[in-house]
């Protein structure tokens, strides 16, 4: 019988023979991860995640976690062990029943999120993304969920000018998923929250064509849709008892004789006209349609998530997601929840004046500024653009620019590809409504 590689968690000091900065030692049965204490803090959890990453790269077929392993420790071990090609098989340590369920739910949802973001653009079409998300969430509570998908010409007929405009250049039609999670007794109530996700299944940049290097990882440009869908799924598994609506705005941004062009003007259902000055600033154009629907739903809380700007990554790096809001109390609540979930976010500036930072001589606004990356303050200006499509942007609205949801290459904490960052914080926020 093959023996599993055993991993012990210990607060004992590591012997110097294993290296000055190491937290991982080995014996004949497996490995020990050395942490300062079993107190749940980010430093210790990141040590566990780094150790798991090292063990996963050793290509052992299976590990068993032995001894005392708190919930967060096991969760961070799983995060570090995940690999796009073949993840490590883990026999988790015993936990109380409720914590076992929490761990299993996190693993299930984050596996789905990371795998769907890592799918190739050929595998995942806009309609495919909408369908997979709808089916995944529905199987968690089939009696409480219904969804519909609007696609192709029907989007144009119903005035979804952003989703249709961005997606019309592809032979695979764009799509909007509208999903309603409605617990018993809530059918006559407005939703407590609405989630909106950017679902660009591949982004060539359109006629504002990206470089080959810039285009390589653009299968991840649907990370916002995967994140909010995963967040709703995780909240449901954690006992969500509020009505929540989900809108996924899905399209491929490709070049063709049918693609939208620079200088086109899009006239949205809420009366806002937009001049296209950069076809690579397409995420905000599709999100605008979803935000209009979210506002019309009557939800007092709207959260949108998107891999929207490179400027957010420049500002906060890849360990934080960038948060924008004009509602100070709501933003502080979200930041606090994100910190407690070890799913960090950092607030960047957004005021009512940011909506005017992309002027147009031909329309109410342009979709960006006609310069590389949108110029200075591009992440805040993108958020300001989105504010035009929220009925009350000063209250109840959060915009999450997902700087941390994907890694172009692996590092000491994460494999290459999707990380799932953003899912826990949004799910926990929903569970506190």
Q: Which residues are catalytic?
A: 210, 284
Distance, in Å, from the CA atom of 225 to the CA atom of 63, rounded to the nearest integer, reads 33
**DSSP for 207-236, written as a single string:** TSPPPHHHHTTGGGGGHHHHHHHHHHHHHH
Residues present in the chain in total: 433
Distance, in Å, from the CA atom of 35 to the CA atom of 10, rounded to the nearest integer, reads 6
Enclosing H/E stretch for 64: strand 62-66
Residue 26 phi/psi, 5° resolution? -130, 150
Q: Are 150 and 175 in contact (CB under 8 A)?
A: yes
Token output for 185? 């007794």
SS3 state at 222: helix
Q: Are 23 and 83 in contact (CB under 8 A)?
A: no
For residue 196, CA distances in Å to 20, 313, 353 come to: 46, 20, 23
Distance, in Å, from the CA atom of 162 to the CA atom of 145, rounded to the nearest integer, reads 26
Proportion of the chain in helix, strand, coil states, percent, rounded to 5:
40, 20, 40
Token output for 56? 């996963």
Distance, in Å, from the CA atom of 53 to the CA atom of 79, rounded to the nearest integer, reads 8
User: Which distant-in-sequence residues (6+ apart) come within 8 Å of 2 by Cβ?
Assistant: none
Burial class (CB in 10 A: 0-12, 13-18, 19+), 38: middle
User: Which distant-in-sequence residues (6+ apart) come within 8 Å of 156 by Cβ?
Assistant: 164, 168
Token output for 114? 């990371």
**Residue that has been written with the tokens 């988790």 in this structure:** 92
- CB count, 10 Å around CB of 180? 17
């Amino acid at each position: 019988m093959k023996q599993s590689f055993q991993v012990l968690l210990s607060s004992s000091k590591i012997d110097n023979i294993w290296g000055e900065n190491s937290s991982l030692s080995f014996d004949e049965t497996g490995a020990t991860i050395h942490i300062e204490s079993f107190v749940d803090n980010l430093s210790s959890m990141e040590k566990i995640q780094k150790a798991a990453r090292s063990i996963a790269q050793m290509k052992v077929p299976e590990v068993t976690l032995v001894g005392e392993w708190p919930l967060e420790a096991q969760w961070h071990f799983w995060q570090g062990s995940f690999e796009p090609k073949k993840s490590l098989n883990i026999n988790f340590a015993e936990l109380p029943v409720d914590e076992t369920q929490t761990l299993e739910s996190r693993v299930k949802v984050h596996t789905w999120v990371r795998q769907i973001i890592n799918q190739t653009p050929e595998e995942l079409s806009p309609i495919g993304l909408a369908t997979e998300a709808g089916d995944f969430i529905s199987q968690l509570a089939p009696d409480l969920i219904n969804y519909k998908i609007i696609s192709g010409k029907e989007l144009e007929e119903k005035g979804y000018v952003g989703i249709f405009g961005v997606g019309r250049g592809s032979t695979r039609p764009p799509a909007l998923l509208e999903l309603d999670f409605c617990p018993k007794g809530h059918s006559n109530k407005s939703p407590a929250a609405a989630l909106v996700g950017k679902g660009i299944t591949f982004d060539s940049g359109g006629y504002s064509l990206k470089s080959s290097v810039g285009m390589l990882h653009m299968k991840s440009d649907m990370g916002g849709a995967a994140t909010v869908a995963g967040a709703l799924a995780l909240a449901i598994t954690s006992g969500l008892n509020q009505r929540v609506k989900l809108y996924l705005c899905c399209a491929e941004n490709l070049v063709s004789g049918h693609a939208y062009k620079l200088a086109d003007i899009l006239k949205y259902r809420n009366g806002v006209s937009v001049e296209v000055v950069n076809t690579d600033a397409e995420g905000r154009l599709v999100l605008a349609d979803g935000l209009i629907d979210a506002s019309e739903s009557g939800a007092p809380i709207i959260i949108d998530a998107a891999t929207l700007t490179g400027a957010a990554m420049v500002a906060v790096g890849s360990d934080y997601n960038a948060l924008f809001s004009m509602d100070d109390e709501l933003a502080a609540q979200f930041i606090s929840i994100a910190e407690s979930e070890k799913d960090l976010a950092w607030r960047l500036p957004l005021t009512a004046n940011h909506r005017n930072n992309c002027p147009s001589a031909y329309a109410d606004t342009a979709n960006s500024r006609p310069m590389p990356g949108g110029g200075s303050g591009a992440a805040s200006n993108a958020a300001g653009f989105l504010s035009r499509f929220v009925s009350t942007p000063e209250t109840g609205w959060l915009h999450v620019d997902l700087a941390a949801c994907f890694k172009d290459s692996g590092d000491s904490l994460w494999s290459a590809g999707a990380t799932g960052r953003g899912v826990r914080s949004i799910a926990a926020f929903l569970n506190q409504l």
